Amino acid sequence: AIGARLVRAAHDCAEGGLAVALGEGCVSGPAPVGVQIELPSAAPLPLLLFGEGPSRIVVAVRAEGERHFERLMGEFAVPWRWIGRVGGDRLMIRAGGASVIDLSVDRSALAWRSGFERYVG
């Protein structure tokens, strides 16, 4: 998918799980960008949000490449699922239909970029 130029961004979930990967992805680029995520309610919420299971990667795929991405994942038998959309000014995660995280990415970016300085400065 990367070779086919379908992937715009990717982040592993190894340190902090899905919620941390999404949060870092929202604020670490040149400009903050939001996401809207919908998770199933099958697993316990802490495990869904912060589980650090191996080999979990969040990818952002170009809209025009979604079908090609789906074909590649099937062709190579990669377990995957769509969980949301990129855009807007909020990091929003819903699980089982309920809002569990709803943060301004601008405020989150400010805290991420200057929090340590403000704490020790």
Average pLDDT, the chain: 92
Tell me the domains of the chain and their CATH numbers.
7-120 (3.90.650.10)
Structure confidence by residue, pLDDT tens digits, 66-116: 999 999 999 999 999 999 999 999 999 999 889 999 999 999 999 888 877
Confidence (pTM): 0.87
Tell me the CA distances in angstroms from 74 to 2, 71, 95, 113, one per residue in order: 15, 5, 26, 38
Within the chain, where are the H helices?
17-27, 45-50, 66-75, 105-120
Query: Which residues make Cβ contacts (< 8 Å) with residue 27, sequence separation at least 6?
Result: 105, 108, 109, 112, 113
The DSSP line for 68-94 is: HHHHHHHHTT------EEE-SSEEEEE
